[in-house]
Amino acid sequence: MGVPAELPPVSGAPARIAIVRARYNPFGGAERFVQRALGALAARGVEVTVIARRWPRSPPAAGEFAPRMVRVDPFYVGSVWRDWSFARAVRRLLARESLSDVQSHERIPGVAV
């Protein structure tokens, strides 16, 4: 079963979605998925926010979608605390945002997708 080449735009108020990925790896499967999702969501009129510790900010080409980028990089000591502090900081950020949905590619309690 294939996916339609063109999806209709979302009607009504635009959805606001956040995608969480701690850091960018150009060879990572999750990052490639996120990059493709950003374009598909933008084509449907969805407002997208990328929440990350590190993500490259290259200027978009003419007519290309540029998502809202939020850098979350709290202090940590060691890898266990790095993941915990990132998850905690993201949860605090999400509590202040008015979002339709959140998709996380990290282990963050309370995030549905």
- Domain containing residue 100: CATH number: 3.40.50.2000
Q: Does the residue 73 lie in any domain?
A: yes
User: Would you say residue 6 lies in a domain?
Assistant: no
Distance between CA atoms of 104 and 113, rounded to whole angstroms? Answer: 6
The separation between CA 105 and the C-alpha centre of its own chain, rounded to angstroms, equals 8
Predicted confidence (pLDDT) per residue in 43-89, tens digit: 888 888 889 887 776 655 545 667 888 888 887 888 778 888 999 99
The pLDDT tens digits of the residues spanning 6-31 come to 545 555 667 888 889 888 776 778 77
What's the one-letter identity of residue 58?
S
Asked whether residue 92 is assigned to any structural domain, the reply reads yes
For residues 96 and 106, give the distance between their C-alpha atoms in angstroms, rounded to a whole number: 19
Residue 109 lies in a domain: no
Indicate whether 7 belongs to any domain: no
Structural domain contains residue 58: yes
Residue type, position 51, single letter: I
Domain extent, residue 39, equals 16-104
What six digits make up the tokens of 37?
């999702």
- Helices first, then strands: H and E counts in the chain: 2, 4
**Residue 93 belongs to a domain:** yes
- As given in the structure block, the two tokens for residue 40 are 């598909």
Domain tally for the chain?
A: 1
